[in-house]
Structure formats: C-alpha cells, structure tokens
Amino acid sequence: MLDNDDLEQPNEDESEGESFAEMFEQSAKQHTRWLEPGQKVTARVLKVGTEWIFIDTGQKGEGVVDVKEFMDLDGHVTAKIGDSIAAYFLSSSHGEMRFTTRIGGGASGNAQLEEAFQSGVPVEGMVEKEIKGGYEIKLAGTTRAFCPFSQMSLRRTDNPAAFIGTRLPFRITAYDEKGRNIVVSRRALLEEEQRRLREEVQAGISEGMTVSGTVTSLQDYGAFVDIGGLEGLLPISEIGWSRVKDVSEVLSVGQQIKVVIKTIDREKERISLSLKDTLANPWDLAVQTYPEGSFHTGVVSRLAPFGAFVTLTDGIDGLIHISKLGGGKRINHPREVLKEGEAIEVKVESVDRAERRISLSLAGAARAAEEEEATLSEFRRQADEAPTGMGTFGDLLLAKAKKNKK
C-alpha cells in the first residue's frame, strides 16, 4: 500500500524530462539575452537554403539571415558553407534568432529606418545623384538621405561620379524630423570592417613570421606594406643586404613581396617588417668567397676620413684603411687617391664573419709587395744553394729586369 508521499512523488524519468526541458528553456533565454537588437556578431555559414541562410553565432540555437541579402545582380547566392560573415541581431522567436547584414530597400524597410539608426544596423541605399557637398541616397524605396563626400569612402576619390547608380550599404548617422532629415555614412562601415580585419590579422601574426604583402607607398625612409588589412613599415635598411639609396630603384607600388615580421607594437598598432631577412645572407659564404690573400674587383661605394668602403657584391663591403692608400706616402683623405663609383682591384687582407668586416688593400700595391717578396725569397734560396760567386741582390734584380725585357 502506497502512502501519500509515494503518490505525490513523480517517477524518475518524468522528473528528469521536466528538469531537462526547464534547463533548456532557461539556457536558451540566457543565451539570447546576451544579444541586443543591433548587436554585431561574426558568424559561420552552416547551410544555404532557398529562403534562409543558417548561421552559427556561438549562441544557443542557430541564426538565420534572408538569402536575398546574399544575391548578386544575376540572382546567384554568393554565400557558401563555411564562410565567415558579419551580421546584426534583429530578434528572437521560438528559439530562432533573426539576423541581417543590412536593412533592404523594400517597403518593409521604410518602417525600420529609425530602428536601424538606433541599433546601428546598416541600411542599403541607391546612390541617386551628386549634390552640393555629397550625394543623394535613396533608402527603403522612397526615403531620401544625404551622404557627404568625405563619408563615401576611406579616401577621397578622383571621380565622384563613379558611385552614381550603385547600390551600397550605409550607416545612418543622423535621423531627424521623423525621417525627413537623414544623414548616412559608408565610410563608418568601411572603417569598422577595416578594424575587424586588422584585429583578425593581429591575432594571427607573430614576430619572426614570414607573410605576403603588397607595397602601398614609397617613402625616403622605406616603404609601407599591406599584409592583409594591416600596414607595416619596411625601413630602407631592411630592404636588402646592399646599401639602398633610392627605394624606388628596388620596389614599386603594387608589388607583391614576402617579408618577415620583425616587431609588433600592438598598443601603438605599429609593425616593422624586413625584406632583407627573406634573402640569402651573403656573409654566410663570405669566408669561402673572399679568402684571405685573394684578389677581387669592387666599386668604391663611400669615402670616409678613415678609409674607403668598397662593394665586392650586394651586401658585402670591405674597407681599405687610409694608411694603405698612399703607397707609402701620408694622405689626408681617401679622395686624394680614389673617387666614389670607381672600379678598382683589391686584395683581401682579413675576414671577420662574426663582425661582418673585410679588410682590404689596393691590389697594385699588394701585387708589387708580393713580387718584391718573391724576388727576395728567390735570391735567398739561390744564395743558400750556391757556394760562392752568385753576386749581390742588386745583381739578381738587374738580371731579372733584363730577362723581363726580352
């Protein structure tokens, strides 16, 4: 026989079922409360249907966007499964969350313009004509709005008429007189997208990483390179291993290059790049290419009070000390013997790979000294081998001179 407590107590399965349903409902309410109308999210396309595009926003349940928002002029759907899109939360009903990428131009959108202004949801507009100070934009079928020239794009265009007749997204920045005075901005959306891309790129890069970039501008001190929404500075000293005097001789605007990220200052949003670090370091083979005692032809690249710098190849410069330029005579400056741009033959005196230094001397003086040393060594050898009567060193030099004349 069952007592009253047993009669009032539900079975375990029913209790668990009701508990799960309650928790699911509460969880759904909690998750949807996280989103406010007009709140922007980044979502992933899960499915492309005939009327709706289903998206994953990281919330409980799926979101939907009208498929018409992703149709091009030919009626083709541009969204694909896996695409990442930016969408704005509109409302939630029966666990389904409605999103939009912009408010369209139909009659239904006319009543939503003020709501779009309050929530920050973009609106779609047709650029009708150019008027004083900007453009006249048609919103929601018949509503007129004004977009200043400065708010149409990130940079002022040389051809303002190019926008006329185009359908573009805008953000309402002013909504007065019950919609009779509306000001819109396309630039606000472009800047927002630029910030989003910048944050994504910043999150995915690190110092030492090699990335692809596009040269956007050339300066006396280097070049600016776009690495996917972020601009970094490529200093002139990091363009190559050789000394670069004119950036335009090496790079051009629009050129695609590989660069290494040297430093990232996230607070100041500054990125320093290097093209040099993607190139082979000529100093790695300097010892083998320029062994001590070898002779090479180079170009005088720079004259300094203490000596002359000679470029042997791109990225490899050697120094002839001023004491080795006068041919035994004291000179006050290397310009008394050499001039910049002059091609000369040099001898490698020493190589310090760690310090990236090569000590040189003029080949003419070096060859003369070597020849004199060889002659002296030959005389000593003959003097040691012959018992007597071989003459003096002067006699040997005279004999050699006569031999060279023949």
Domain harbouring 240, CATH code: 2.40.50.140
Asked whether residue 383 is assigned to any structural domain, the reply reads no
E-strand stretches of 246-286: 256-265, 270-274
Closest CA to 306 of 347, 345, 334: 334
DSSP 349-393: EEEETTTTEEEEEEHHHHHHHHHHHHHHHHHHHHHHHS-S----H
Lowest mean pLDDT among 189-193, 361-365, 389-393: 389-393
Show contacts of 192-200: CB within 8 Å, 24+ apart.
193/86, 194/154, 194/229, 196/42, 196/86, 197/228, 197/229, 197/230, 198/229, 198/230, 198/269, 200/229
Q: Look at residues 278, 308, 328 and tell me which one is the last residue of a structural domain.
A: 278
More confident residue, 336 or 100: 336
Looking at the fold, whether 290 and 254 belong to one and the same domain comes out as: no
More confident residue, 387 or 105: 387
Residues 191-203, mean pLDDT to the nearest whole number: 79
Asked whether residue 348 is assigned to any structural domain, the reply reads yes
Q: What is the pLDDT of residues 164-173, one digit of tens each?
A: 999 898 999 9
Amino acid identity of residue 224, one-letter, is F
- The band of 9, judged by pLDDT with boundaries at 50, 70 and 90, is very low
- The band of 18, judged by pLDDT with boundaries at 50, 70 and 90, is very low
Highest mean pLDDT range out of 210-224, 277-291, 320-334, 356-370?
210-224
Looking at the fold, whether 288 and 255 belong to one and the same domain comes out as: no
Residues 378-399, mean pLDDT to the nearest whole number: 62
Looking at the fold, whether 129 and 144 belong to one and the same domain comes out as: yes
Alpha helix segments (H runs only) across 147-260:
187-204
Asked whether residue 170 is assigned to any structural domain, the reply reads yes
Asked whether residue 52 is assigned to any structural domain, the reply reads yes
pLDDT for 99: 87
Q: Tally the domains of the chain.
A: 4
Asked whether residue 401 is assigned to any structural domain, the reply reads no
Amino acid identity of residue 219, one-letter, is Q
Domain, as residue range, for 265: 206-278
Asked whether residue 373 is assigned to any structural domain, the reply reads no
pLDDT for 121: 82
Mean pLDDT, rounded, of the chain: 80
pLDDT for 145: 93
Looking at the fold, whether 116 and 171 belong to one and the same domain comes out as: yes
Identify the three-state secondary structure at position 344: strand
Looking at the fold, whether 293 and 352 belong to one and the same domain comes out as: yes
- The band of 10, judged by pLDDT with boundaries at 50, 70 and 90, is very low
Q: What is the pLDDT of residues 213-249, one digit of tens each?
A: 999 999 999 999 999 878 899 999 999 888 888 999 9
Looking at the fold, whether 272 and 295 belong to one and the same domain comes out as: no
27 has a pLDDT exceeding 50: no
Separation between Cα atoms, residue 87 and residue 65, nearest integer Å: 8
Highest mean pLDDT range out of 25-29, 224-228, 401-405?
224-228
Q: What is the pLDDT of residues 250-260, one digit of tens each?
A: 999 999 999 99
Closest CA to 175 of 147, 145, 149: 145
Highest mean pLDDT range out of 32-46, 124-138, 171-185, 372-386?
124-138
Residues 389-405, mean pLDDT to the nearest whole number: 60
- 197 within 8 A of 228, measured Cβ to Cβ: yes
Looking at the fold, whether 146 and 224 belong to one and the same domain comes out as: no
- The band of 343, judged by pLDDT with boundaries at 50, 70 and 90, is very high
Residues 144-148, mean pLDDT to the nearest whole number: 93
Q: Look at residues 69, 84, 100 and tell me which one is the last residue of a structural domain.
A: 100
Asked whether residue 400 is assigned to any structural domain, the reply reads no
1 has a pLDDT exceeding 90: no
Q: Look at residues 80, 100, 120 and tell me which one is the last residue of a structural domain.
A: 100
Residues 159-179, mean pLDDT to the nearest whole number: 87
Asked whether residue 294 is assigned to any structural domain, the reply reads yes
Tokens of residue 231, six digits? 């601009």
100 has a pLDDT exceeding 50: yes
Looking at the fold, whether 265 and 226 belong to one and the same domain comes out as: yes
CB atoms within 10 A of CB 307: 21
Amino acid identity of residue 16, one-letter, is E
pLDDT for 110: 54
Q: What is the pLDDT of residues 36-74, one digit of tens each?
A: 777 778 889 999 998 899 998 877 667 899 888 888 777
More confident residue, 90 or 207: 207
Separation between Cα atoms, residue 98 and residue 120, nearest integer Å: 16
pLDDT for 36: 73
More confident residue, 119 or 111: 119
Separation between Cα atoms, residue 284 and residue 295, nearest integer Å: 19
**Distances from the Cα of 196 to the Cαs of 86, 160, 185, 231, 325, in angstroms?**
10, 27, 18, 14, 60
pLDDT for 155: 81
pLDDT for 173: 92
Amino acid identity of residue 193, one-letter, is E
Looking at the fold, whether 148 and 215 belong to one and the same domain comes out as: no
